[in-house]
Amino acid sequence: MQEEFKNVAESQVVISELMLPSHSNFGGKIHGGYILSLLDQIAFACASKHSRAYCVTASVDTVDFLSPIEIGELVTMKASVNYVGRSSMVIGIRVEAENIQTGVVKHCNSSYFTMVAKDKEGNSISVPGLILKTDDQIRRFAKSIKRKDMKKNRSREFHETDFSSQKYLHIVENHKAKIEMEH
């Protein structure tokens, strides 16, 4: 029988990995795609640990690369469940890179992955709720709800059926675009 509620700490995952030259891009920094792959792995581990089930990535929200990661730095990713729905979980991940020679640590990224728990047949299954014990945990849960609501509004706006360009001219006019419509 699965637990009805779990503490946030029970599902937290931390991984560290030394960044190698093979992880770099043409600019000599660690490739963002490699970091995204690590983010997906830790999100899976955290969600699976919370749900005790196989989990899939449903969406990725807010992947902002704040600071480049250098070859030779130790990257640490910290993941925790910020929010749970019926079968979905929002996993918050903080990425830090440490220069192991100087000890300087920099915040490189914060990301939010929505993961969904599945059974062996691929059907979504219920996940345990969260026991919130700190102000940070309550804030993260509430912010996840706000992001979810904003995503619904964004989705509704982009699925409108009125495609008239006239409706959007006021949005475009103060940006770096030149309109040369053909008639």
Domain residue ranges in the chain: 5-132
Give the model's pLDDT for residue 1: 45
- What's the predicted TM-score (pTM) here? 0.87
What is the signed CA dihedral for 18, 100, 105, 64, rounded to 10 degrees? -30
- Cα separation, 146 vs 89, whole angstroms: 14
Which positions of the chain have pLDDT values less than 70? 1-3, 161-163
- Cα separation, 168 vs 171, whole angstroms: 5
Domain 5-132, what architecture? Roll (3.10)
Give the model's pLDDT for residue 70: 97
- Cα separation, 86 vs 116, whole angstroms: 9
Give the model's pLDDT for residue 13: 98
